[in-house]
Structure 1
Amino acid sequence: MSLRALITSFDDDALVALANKGLLRRAQKAVPDAQVLHFDDDEAGVQTGGQTVTIPAGGPQTATCDCPATGVCSHILTAVLALRDSPEPTDAEPATPEAPTVSASDWLAGLTADQLRKFAGADFDGAAVLAATAHVDQRGGNAQASFPSPEATVTFVAGQDLKAALYKGPATRKRLVVAAGAIALRDLAGVARDAPLASPSAAPAPDSETMDAILRALEEAIGQIFHGSAVLAEERLLDLAISAKVQSAPRLMGQLMTLSTQAGWAEAGDVRFEGGRFLAALSRTYALARAIRLCPEDTDLLGQARRSYQPVADMTLMCLGLHGWTTPNGARGLTAYFLDQETGEHRSATVARGAGMDLAFTAYQAYSNPLWGTPAASRLSGTFLVLENPLCAEDGQISTGDKTRAKDIQPLRTSDVQNSPALIRRWSDLRADLRVRMGTGLRRAAAPVPSLILPHSISEPQFDDISQRYVWQATDTVGQTLDLTATPDDRPRLAKLHTQFPGAVALLVLTSVVGDDLIHEPVTLLLSSLGDVEAVDVKFRDLPAGSALARAKAGLLQGFQRLTGSSGTPLQTAFPAQVLSQLAEQCRHLQPDTLARLAAGAEARQLLVLADRLEGLKTHQAPEDILATAYLCQEAMMMLALAD
């Protein structure tokens, strides 16, 4: 490939991957004054800003500049931009026409498995697991794969090999991430793996030796994080997460990856790292690992979707909405939520793929695909239906098998929703309902819990810097508030949420445990249309603007609340959160007086088990004691969050 063709492959996205957006903007301003000194197949020279840049045949990654800056400077980017826009010489001898440049994705798809294994070396097995978590973005002839843990991106430029891939992330993980990105792109292209990943349910359960290694790593992470060796925890936790021996426990795998990411924040001094939150996450993972060691076949603990379905009588259901989701380990799917008209119970049905399975599958695809004989699953949202020949599991999950058929599908009537006993208008009733349905301890986080609510009003969103989520305050009929949250990716589709109440019929929300927080996520807005219900599934559609009357009422209500103050839920969880934060400080420097004060505070609040644990820490600070205390703190937070 000629140097000119290679330079052309470096579009703006590739240059950002090579450096950053700030340097690129600076470089773009200098292009008009740049002078191309020479440009042939072997080398190019450019003068810009009083500096001389030389780009050899290897491309911009191997470019040099005589300025004092290290690495890729703005002068190198300016040189690439100037060369990219420079016309071909008119007096040169006609060159042999080059073959069209093969896109990065096509080139990766053409690699043999042996070539990929040779590049990855000992990282190949881990890369095969990590590939399932990749987010792939095709950018013309180039392609980029990004990963949540480790926080890294790799950009493949057309015409360059694996060693020349543009990488951003932990230096020690370059080969692992580049190989994982290559595997993810090959999966997307339909290239079969020479050793396909086993599904979580087919993989063997983690053995006691593996679980002991995980428990030791979690215990050691306390000292590593709080005494300046966070990189050791970051790498060890990631290695365990992508180990083949943990693939049958996707829930544990996801938590280990999250911990590795947080350890990376600690190492980098990132503002997102908070000691108390890390300790809470560490204690949850430790408790889960100990539970799996005792019950290695428990599917709730493992996080497997394996269920035993049994035939039941035909069911009359209200479909309240559909939700698309992904997990940290790369599993993704579509879940439909129903209300059983005979029993009043919430039920669900899920179409999903495990990590590394059927990479072409997406929630958007499932939303448009047939389900139970309907042309598209999306058509079920906001309807009444009768389900023939259903198969159900003990937890209320309905099988999506082909033998089941949906019939007599009719739009929901507004009155059906408004008169439903499942519609919750007061947040005290919501908390009481969640206490019954969410379970306790490790079972609480097994699956999100759906609820149908009717807010009196919803405030405009605010961004929470700590959780990195948008928050809307929903007020009920007696003035109590409930925080509704969404990720930045979902925020644009929810832009009009605060204009919907009063006026909309209801809102379907999912309650789940994320970190040490109990979050309520909007899933489907139910609107009234000539007496029928129109369901807007917010993962797939933007919310419409609320009516002018609803917007006016919402503005008046919010203004009134600012003047009078809202009677929101008291901050009952503040004390356990304070204890977690102080525990993190104890991990750095032991302060017995602080522990005694916290123990007295816990006893005064009737948190007696927590008080005993805090007293014990004054003399015994073994890692398992610290983690047990942190786990009690977050359990107290969850119980208080659901208290009346």
Structure 2
Amino acid sequence: MIDAALRAGLAAFDDAALATLANPGLVRRAHRDVEDGKLRLVSAGAGTAAVEADGQLVTLDVRGPRAADCACKSVAICRHRIAAVLFLQGLEEIATVAEGAAPALSGSEDILAALDLTALERWSGKASWRAALELVATVRQVEPSANAISVVFADLDDPVRILRGQGFDGIVSKAVKARVKAYHAAAVLAAHHHFGVVLPEPVEDEALPAEVDIDIAFLHRVAASLGEVATLGFNLAPLPLEESLFELSVSSRADSLPRLSTMLRAIAAQLRLRRQRALAFDSDRMLELTATAFVLTRALASIEPQRRAGLTGKVRRDFAPAAPLTLVGCGGERWRTDTGARGVTAWFVEPETGRWLSTTLARGAGQDPAFAPAEAWRAQSMWQSEPLAVLAHARVVLEQSRLSADDRLSAPASARAVIVTRDVRPDPAWPGVVRDWKDLREAWLRQTGLGLDASDGAVACLVSPSTVGLPYFDDLAQQLVWPVRDTVGEWLALTLDHEEPVATAIEALEAHVRSGWEGMVLVRLVRAGEALEARPITLFGAGDPVDLSLWRRPYTYGRQQPGDAVRNWLERLRKSGARRFIRRPRGGTEAALAAAWRQLLDRAEIGPALAQSIDGRSTGGLAAHADRLDNHGLPALADLMRHVRDASTLLVAAYGLLVARQQRCGAPLLR
């Protein structure tokens, strides 16, 4: 007689869970063994059973096949253990219980009842917990069923399965050992969030001490792995190197190094994309990350412990209590990432200082299918007040809020916004309003920083054009280009990519901007290599403000097919007769920096065996690039290029070029 505890414990191990523990072929073979009568029940006790499977004795308990003992002594999950589970599930007593007591699909939330998030944090450990909070954003789908919850991640080939009654240790996946706790914790977080639970934020006592004690040997090991990335990562992208980087990022010795841990995971993700030959792989991004992480390890190893806290970073984003803030909303945008996350972001400015702050409503991929960013923008109350559609165009006093170091506002239950004035428009006299496009670089640098101090996030600013041109569509870049001129006659390209949800923004811009339009524009600045990209977010003209990506068409097109509206405005833009501009070529210094960067990237991509073949070329070798940098007044960078011999010197040179390119990152000017 099989008791109820064992029946309940084994019910969660369906074919999908068993295949995750082993492989589908082994599960099929185990089914054949059961069908051929090769199993028999030897004994059954309280929560245990002994089964003879094809001559091998298997002892099972409520933990299932992973914790079972088999006489064959196989290290992996063998077919005897799988067959024993299938055999016990097929007994008449278990079948009867399953038919009468199987939970309904709507009861899948009960699976999470015993998986407390506080206990999950203790189980995963600090480093894996940080990784889990990051990995939640890569979830593509959460699929509940009667006895399990399946969570699909972008970077895992097979889903993570949370099994009913098996606890944290009973979660199954194909994740390698180094990734298990991070991905399993992220799966539980994503499942809780799927059922409406707010994900936890780090508390203030997670701040690192003033003097950070670091294992120098660990830093040397990290530096060696980063050197392997420069040597092999761009060329072969071996799986062991990817796993090694992830393992280092969640090591207990990385507990005090959250910034370095995050970088290592980002590099590991790029390695995976490179090995898969995915279009999303960004070689420039990987070299930037690797060079910055390498220099960070050197800096942490060389400075005094009391000065390390500024380099170690924060545990996720550290939101601290903020003093009451007087803010003016300047618009917002709807967005969607490549992984499927979507949301809306509102931008606010402090009129007295010109400081920009933002807040976001978002959901990860596969989370809360009912969440519609545009509807949340218009209907979901924020800070015990009005929706963002109202707050983002009002003067408000915000109290009891929490603010991160990169000026992002969170929405704790205690936060309260009092609307002072509705329908406020930005004032051209505010500090930080840009009228001369050469000031855009300073506005961007002021909010992002350089090198180890740089942040990757987008920044906002208000621009006040003196004249605007008609927008036109760039067929080669697949972008809408809106030329706007500053007070000294320079033309700037404000661009929108042709993709959802930006297609709405293109249609809105085409509908509102005509020759002679006057006003101000909220733009978002993002660095793309050695140049900035400027995207218009909100228009402030003679009428009401227009949040481009959140605009709602005030009329319909009748019975037209989907896509007709896009084709119609594309055709109108191409026939508008608008002046076609061309991008202004970069200056000599910027071109020399870009060419030197490309040389280092080529050297990494070609691999160590052939690297020397491109180093000594008379026109494109390291010495030639060094001479060119010298001629442009950059002797320090030239010296770094001349000393490139191995992975470490390559990464140091790449970091120097990265900082120089950031410093000279200019606005996209037209002529």
Which band: TM-score by shorter chain? 0.5 to 0.7
State the match for 1:568 in structure 2.
583
Q: What's the secondary structure of 1:222's corresponding residue?
A: helix
Q: What's the secondary structure of 1:570's corresponding residue?
A: coil
Paired amino acid for 2:272: G
State the match for 1:154 in structure 2.
159
Deviations 1:388-429 (A, max 9, x none): 89999998778978586524222125xx55786755466434
Paired amino acid for 2:418: A
CA distance in 1, matches of 2:229, 2:281: 14
Q: Structure 1 residues 43, 124: CA separation in 2 closer, same or farther (over 3 Å shift)?
A: farther
Paired amino acid for 2:593: P
Q: What's the secondary structure of 1:576's corresponding residue?
A: helix
CA distance in 2, matches of 1:584, 1:281: 13
How far did residue 378 of structure 1 move? 3.9
Paired amino acid for 1:305: D
Instruction: State the aligned residue count.
Output: 537
CA distance in 1, matches of 2:405, 2:126: 36
State the match for 1:131 in structure 2.
132
State the match for 2:523 in structure 1.
509
State the match for 1:71 in structure 2.
none
CA distance in 1, matches of 2:585, 2:132: 44
State the match for 1:347 in structure 2.
356
How far did residue 234 of structure 1 move? 0.8
Q: Percent identity at matched positions?
A: 18
State the match for 2:331 in structure 1.
321
Paired amino acid for 1:145: V
State the match for 1:443 in structure 2.
453
How far did residue 100 of structure 1 move? 4.1
Task: Write the mapping of 1:187-336 to structure 2, written as runs, cut at 5 A.
Answer: 187-188=192-193, 189=195, 201-202=206-207, 207-209=213-215, 210-226=218-234, 228=236, 230-243=238-251, 245-246=253-254, 250-270=258-278, 272-273=280-281, 275-291=283-299, 294=303, 295-298=307-310, 301-302=313-314, 304-305=317-318, 309=322, 315=326, 317-322=327-332, 336=346
423-432 or 624-633, which deviates more: 423-432
Q: Does 1:99 align with 2:104?
A: no
How far did residue 342 of structure 1 move? 4.0
CA distance in 1, matches of 2:178, 2:501: 30
CA distance in 2, matches of 1:204, 1:436: 28
CA distance in 2, matches of 1:96, 1:552: 58
RMSD: 5.8
Paired amino acid for 1:279: L
State the match for 2:112 in structure 1.
109
Alpha-carbon contact 2:471-2:481 (below 8 Å) kept? yes
Q: Structure 1 residues 226, 220: CA separation in 2 closer, same or farther (over 3 Å shift)?
A: same
CA distance in 2, matches of 1:113, 1:389: 28
Paired amino acid for 1:601: R
Q: Structure 1 residues 233, 334: CA separation in 2 closer, same or farther (over 3 Å shift)?
A: same
State the match for 2:482 in structure 1.
474
The alignment's TM-score, normalised by the length of structure 1, stands at 0.63
State the match for 2:395 in structure 1.
384
Alpha-carbon contact 2:396-2:419 (below 8 Å) kept? yes
State the match for 1:606 in structure 2.
633
Alpha-carbon contact 1:391-1:398 (below 8 Å) kept? yes
Alpha-carbon contact 2:332-2:538 (below 8 Å) kept? no
State the match for 1:183 in structure 2.
188
- Return 5+ residue gaps in structure 1 as ranges: 20-38, 45-57, 59-93, 465-469
CA distance in 2, matches of 1:517, 1:553: 32
Q: Does 1:375 align with 2:390?
A: no
State the match for 1:526 in structure 2.
539
Q: Does 1:581 align with 2:593?
A: no
CA distance in 2, matches of 1:127, 1:387: 34
Alpha-carbon contact 2:136-2:187 (below 8 Å) kept? no
CA distance in 2, matches of 1:624, 1:495: 45
Alpha-carbon contact 2:160-2:172 (below 8 Å) kept? yes
Q: Structure 1 residues 370, 121: CA separation in 2 closer, same or farther (over 3 Å shift)?
A: closer
CA distance in 1, matches of 2:501, 2:639: 43
State the match for 1:640 in structure 2.
664
Deviations 1:90-116 (A, max 9, x none): xxxx999543455494464256689x9
519-528 or 583-592, which deviates more: 519-528
Paired amino acid for 1:533: P
Q: What's the secondary structure of 2:248's corresponding residue?
A: helix
CA distance in 1, matches of 2:584, 2:649: 32
CA distance in 1, matches of 2:440, 2:508: 20
- Return 5+ residue gaps in structure 2 as ranges: 1-6, 25-30, 37-63, 65-95, 558-566
How far did residue 328 of structure 1 move? 12
Q: What's the secondary structure of 2:545's corresponding residue?
A: strand
How far did residue 282 of structure 1 move? 0.9
How far did residue 319 of structure 1 move? 1.0
Alpha-carbon contact 1:299-1:305 (below 8 Å) kept? no
User: Which of 137, 148, 151 is matched with 1:145 structurally?
Assistant: 151
Q: Structure 1 residues 370, 273: CA separation in 2 closer, same or farther (over 3 Å shift)?
A: closer
Alpha-carbon contact 2:459-2:526 (below 8 Å) kept? yes
Q: Structure 1 residues 602, 386: CA separation in 2 closer, same or farther (over 3 Å shift)?
A: same
Alpha-carbon contact 2:432-2:443 (below 8 Å) kept? no
CA distance in 2, matches of 1:304, 1:599: 39
Task: Write the mapping of 1:419-430 to structure 2, written as runs, cut at 5 A.
Answer: 423-424=433-434, 427-430=437-440
How far did residue 196 of structure 1 move? 10
Q: Structure 1 residues 491, 146: CA separation in 2 closer, same or farther (over 3 Å shift)?
A: farther
Paired amino acid for 1:586: R
CA distance in 2, matches of 1:444, 1:229: 27
Q: Structure 1 residues 182, 431: CA separation in 2 closer, same or farther (over 3 Å shift)?
A: closer
Alpha-carbon contact 1:9-1:158 (below 8 Å) kept? no
Alpha-carbon contact 1:486-1:521 (below 8 Å) kept? no
Q: What's the secondary structure of 2:386's corresponding residue?
A: coil
Paired amino acid for 1:348: L
Q: What's the secondary structure of 1:569's corresponding residue?
A: coil
How far did residue 262 of structure 1 move? 1.4
